[in-house]
């Protein structure tokens, strides 16, 4: 089965080619959507087979590399189109193909009747192929193809409604910001390649080869430089501070895109990349610190913004940014397994939330359309009381919200609590641990608040659209609700494969399967970490129970506040914003980050470009060039008098010349 790994990205590629070239002629939505979904489903089947085979192998044999064809061979650089299968990439292909299949299925219903239906499915397949290359690549360059490929698809899909200027702007912004990250990725790759080559004559960008040689890497120094560069790449792709502003704008794309690309898969690539190179990152305590701090900061920063948004998808977008921050926090404290675990559970519940919001928008749009209303179908202020009209959407949405809020028994609780516990107890960052934990806990409180605010505003209370429109509200078709139900189920049970040891022991010794599974991948990194980690790390069970209880209380506080503000005393939020107008404005306007970027970077660059063109190119350089030409022209004007064409003049000057020359020889 392992040998067939190349089939996994190949199927979606075939789907892309079929729909891309012939989709327009096929026209039939069922066929186009069927092909797209089938292709990614086939990848899922192959992935399942690979997973089964890998489970059957002993832990130390769970690594397999497959060279498909040689790609760039030049001098000491040898890069092949090659794939790496290990427990980590297995988790990723399962998530990408599994969630991917559900979202493809959902899209058949959601995109029904859209003009560019075939185009949508072609791009979606192309995205899946790129994402699979990203997670399967056995070297940085194949990862980078996927890395840029998903960026391209993200560009194409955000700009799907290209006739809208906002969509075009958002698409471009996403791509350019990602490119800023890619700049870092490239420099990081160059640095490692050059350092290993010039110091140890190991010229490689292959992950397993670097892992084998990673003991040569120093702690800090060049590793800090390289990993910070890589992390810049991660902040671009995974929308972390300071490169996060593209993700909320990316909501211009159709909702399934937001679910697949901007929640479940692509944006987690940065987390995956750190996991893939954990043995390099761990060697730089400084970078680990930066990753943890940026992660925690993003988690709380985005969470605050999420509390004030009224567009249902924007709330979820900021929530994604915030949850990604949690993942980076985990990576930064050396809890790689917890980070990947949260990546997986987040893929379930956030995909479910996005698809649920899509179901709501779909229904709202339909209702408003029938009522000839021009109200915004995505604005939560127009919603309310949808739970009776859309029971399946409501229940799955509620389940996922509980999961993300961190209520025990649901998947998000296990992964998020693990992260917070690790942030508190990790042996790396000394005094900073308390801060990291505290910030994470507050962010978790905000999370519970804004998510329940969303649920209350959308599904509870009075319906705020016109009665006429209200009559047209209805539950979405099965093709939409089936993926919701599957993902909702996963949002509940997905966490049980990674039970914390504490709970597992209590339940009679259920092991943390997820941790055992990923152990071989991160073993190297854990070994290095013991070199410099502080001795600490011995915390009592009672402390762990206490913190777990505390984080539950924190989540409940968030929910209670949301309940108070949006169910019981619905006039309170208005009063609050009236009392603190400046604060509300700042939060509502995303702390003016976009304006800051325009002011500090975009506009100066434009001004500089214009100056270099109109000022330097045209005035200075061409001024000199034309000036020289004019001088030459001026001289030629003078010389023109000499070339008068009169034989007499020429004779005189010849005679003059002869006299001069003769005179020179005579008198020398």
Comparison of 167 and 521: residue with beta carbon closer to other proteins: 167
Q: What Rg, from alpha-carbon coordinates, does the chain have?
A: 31
In the 3-class helix/strand/coil scheme, how is 511-545 assigned residue by residue? CCHHHHHHHHHHHHHHHHHHHHCCCCCCCCHHHHH
CA distance 663 to 62: 98
509: left (phi over 0), alpha (psi -120 to 50) or beta: left
Pick out residues in 451-510 that bind other proteins (CB under 8 A). none
- To which residue do tokens 């976009």 refer? 594
Which of 56, 70, 430, 536 is in the footprint of other proteins by CB under 8 A?
70
- To which residue do tokens 């016109």 refer? 466
Give the three-state DSSP class for 72: strand
Pick out residues in 617-636 that bind other proteins (CB under 8 A). 617, 621-622, 625, 629
Is there a contact between 275 and 340 (Cβ–Cβ < 8 Å)? yes
Contact call for residue 39 and other proteins (CB under 8 A): no
Contact call for residue 210 and other proteins (CB under 8 A): no
- Specify the stretch interacting with other proteins by CB under 8 A; choose among 65-73, 101-109, 344-352, 655-663: 65-73
> What does the angle CA 397 – CA 400 – CA 402 come to, to the nearest 5 degrees?
110
Structure tokens at 154: 């993200």
CB of 533 to other proteins, least distance (A): 32
CB of 81 to other proteins, least distance (A): 8
Which of 11, 110, 175, 456 is in the footprint of other proteins by CB under 8 A?
175
CB of 620 to other proteins, least distance (A): 8
Structure tokens at 163: 């006739």
Count the residues of the shown chain that bind other proteins, applying the rule CB under 8 A: 58
Residue 524 CA from chain centroid, whole number = 26
CB of 31 to other proteins, least distance (A): 20
- Specify the stretch interacting with other proteins by CB under 8 A; choose among 298-306, 539-547, 590-598, 602-610: 602-610
Comparison of 252 and 515: residue with beta carbon closer to other proteins: 252
Which of 3, 60, 113, 165 is in the footprint of other proteins by CB under 8 A?
165
Nearest alpha-carbon partner for 127 in 91, 155, 106, 85: 155
- To which residue do tokens 């969303």 refer? 454
CB of 618 to other proteins, least distance (A): 8
Which of 159, 256, 275, 356 is in the footprint of other proteins by CB under 8 A?
159
Contact call for residue 171 and other proteins (CB under 8 A): yes
Structure tokens at 659: 């006299």
Q: Which residues contact 560 (CB under 8 A, 6 or more apart)?
A: none
Cα end-to-end distance, the chain, whole Å:
98
Nearest alpha-carbon partner for 500 in 428, 404, 401, 420: 420
Length of the chain: 668
CA distance 660 to 638: 22
Which of 152, 371, 463, 550 is in the footprint of other proteins by CB under 8 A?
152
Comparison of 150 and 302: residue with beta carbon closer to other proteins: 150
Q: Around 619, how many Cα atoms within 13 Å sit in the side-chain half-sphere?
A: 7
Which of 86, 148, 417, 515 is in the footprint of other proteins by CB under 8 A?
148
Contact call for residue 74 and other proteins (CB under 8 A): yes
Which of 14, 45, 48, 187 is in the footprint of other proteins by CB under 8 A?
187
Comparison of 513 and 611: residue with beta carbon closer to other proteins: 611
Per-position b or e across 623-637, b if 16+ CB within 10 A of its CB:
eeeeeeeeeeeeeee
Phi, psi dihedral angles at 76 (to 5 degrees): -85, 0
- Specify the stretch interacting with other proteins by CB under 8 A; choose among 373-381, 399-407, 604-612, 635-643: 604-612
- Specify the stretch interacting with other proteins by CB under 8 A; choose among 165-173, 261-269, 436-444, 646-654: 165-173
Comparison of 171 and 443: residue with beta carbon closer to other proteins: 171
Q: Around 271, how many Cα atoms within 13 Å sit in the side-chain half-sphere?
A: 36
Which of 66, 112, 172, 516 is in the footprint of other proteins by CB under 8 A?
172
Comparison of 170 and 457: residue with beta carbon closer to other proteins: 170
CB of 24 to other proteins, least distance (A): 8
CB of 613 to other proteins, least distance (A): 4
Angle (deg, nearest 10), helices 29-56 and 117-136: 20
Which of 27, 190, 221, 635 is in the footprint of other proteins by CB under 8 A?
190
CB of 579 to other proteins, least distance (A): 41
CA distance 460 to 67: 54
Q: Which residues contact 98 (CB under 8 A, 6 or more apart)?
A: 44, 47
Nearest alpha-carbon partner for 512 in 524, 503, 525: 503
Is there a contact between 135 and 93 (Cβ–Cβ < 8 Å)? yes
Contact call for residue 141 and other proteins (CB under 8 A): yes
Contact call for residue 17 and other proteins (CB under 8 A): no
CB of 167 to other proteins, least distance (A): 8
Residue 192 CA from chain centroid, whole number = 23
Contact call for residue 168 and other proteins (CB under 8 A): yes
CB of 180 to other proteins, least distance (A): 6
Which of 6, 22, 183, 563 is in the footprint of other proteins by CB under 8 A?
183
- What is the contact surface with other proteins in residues (CB under 8 A)? 69-78, 141, 144-145, 147-149, 152, 155, 159, 162-165, 167-169, 171-172, 175-176, 179-180, 182-183, 186-187, 189-191, 193-194, 197-198, 201, 203, 605-606, 608-610, 612-613, 616-617, 621-622, 625, 629
């Amino acid at each position: 089965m392992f040998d067939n790994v190349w089939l996994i990205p190949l199927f979606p590629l075939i789907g892309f080619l079929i729909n891309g070239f012939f989709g327009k002629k096929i026209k039939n939505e069922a066929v186009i959507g069927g092909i797209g979904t089938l292709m990614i489903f086939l990848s899922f089947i192959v992935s399942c087979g690979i997973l089964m085979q890998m489970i059957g192998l002993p832990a130390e044999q769970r690594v397999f590399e497959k060279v498909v064809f040689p790609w760039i061979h030049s001098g000491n650089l040898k890069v092949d189109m090659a794939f790496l299968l290990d427990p980590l990439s297995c988790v990723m292909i399962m998530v990408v193909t599994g969630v991917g299949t559900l979202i493809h299925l959902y899209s058949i219903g959601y995109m029904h009747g859209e003009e560019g239906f075939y185009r949508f499915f072609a791009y979606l397949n192309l995205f899946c192929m790129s994402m699979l290359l990203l997670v399967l690549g056995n070297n940085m360059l194949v990862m980078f193809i996927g890395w840029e490929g998903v960026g391209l698809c993200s560009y194409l899909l955000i700009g799907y409604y290209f006739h809208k200027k906002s969509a075009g702007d958002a698409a471009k912004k996403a791509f350019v910001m990602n490119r800023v990250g890619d700049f870092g990725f490239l420099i990081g790759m160059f640095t490692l390649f050059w350092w290993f080559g010039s110091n140890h004559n190991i010229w490689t960008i292959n992950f397993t080869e670097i892992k084998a040689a990673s003991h040569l890497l120093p702690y800090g120094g060049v590793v800090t430089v390289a990993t910070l560069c890589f992390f810049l790449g991660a902040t671009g792709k995974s929308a972390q501070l300071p490169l996060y502003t593209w993700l909320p704008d990316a909501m211009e794309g159709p909702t399934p895109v937001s679910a697949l690309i901007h929640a479940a898969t692509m944006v987690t690539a940065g987390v995956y990349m750190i996991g893939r190179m954990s043995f390099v990152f761990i060697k730089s305590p400084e970078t680990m610190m930066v990753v943890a701090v940026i992660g925690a900061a993003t988690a709380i920063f985005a969470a605050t913004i999420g509390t004030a948004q009224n567009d249902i998808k924007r709330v979820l977008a900021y929530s994604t940014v915030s949850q990604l921050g949690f993942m980076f926090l985990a990576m930064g404290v050396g809890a790689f397994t917890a980070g990947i675990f949260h990546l997986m559970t987040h893929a379930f519940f956030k995909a479910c939330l996005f698809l649920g919001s899509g179901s709501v928008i779909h229904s709202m749009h339909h209702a408003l359309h029938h009522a000839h209303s021009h109200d915004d179908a995505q604005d939560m202020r127009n919603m309310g009381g949808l739970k009776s009209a859309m029971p399946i959407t409501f229940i799955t949405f509620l389940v996922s919200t509980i999961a993300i809020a961190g209520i025990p028994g649901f998947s998000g609780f296990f992964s998020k609590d693990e992260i917070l516990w690790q942030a508190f107890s990790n042996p790396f960052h000394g005094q900073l641990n308390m801060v990291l934990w505290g910030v994470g806990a507050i962010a978790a409180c905000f999370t519970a608040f804004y998510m329940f605010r969303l649920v209350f505003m959308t599904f509870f209370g009075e319906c705020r659209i016109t009665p006429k429109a209200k009559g047209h509200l209805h539950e979405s078709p099965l093709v939409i609700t089936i993926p919701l139900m599957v993902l909702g189920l996963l949002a509940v049970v997905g966490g049980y494969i990674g039970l914390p040891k504490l709970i597992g022991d209590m339940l009679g010794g259920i092991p943390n399967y997820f941790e055992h599974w990923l152990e071989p991948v991160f073993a190297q990194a854990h070994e290095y970490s013991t070199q410099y980690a502080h001795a600490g790390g011995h915390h009592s069970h009672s402390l762990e129970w206490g913190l777990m209880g505390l984080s539950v209380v924190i989540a409940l506080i968030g929910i209670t506040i949301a309940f108070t503000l949006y169910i019981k005393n619905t006039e309170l939020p208005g009063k609050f914003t009236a009392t603190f107008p400046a604060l509300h404005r700042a939060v509502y306007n995303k702390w003016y980050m976009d304006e800051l970027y325009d002011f500090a970077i975009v506009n100066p660059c434009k001004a500089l470009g214009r100056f270099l063109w109109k000022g330097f190119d045209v005035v200075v350089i061409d001024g000199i060039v034309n000036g020289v030409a004019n001088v030459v022209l001026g001289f030629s004007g003078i010389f023109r008098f000499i070339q008068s064409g009169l034989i007499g003049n020429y004779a005189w000057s010849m005679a003059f010349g002869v006299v001069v020359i003769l005179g020179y020889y005579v008198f020398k």
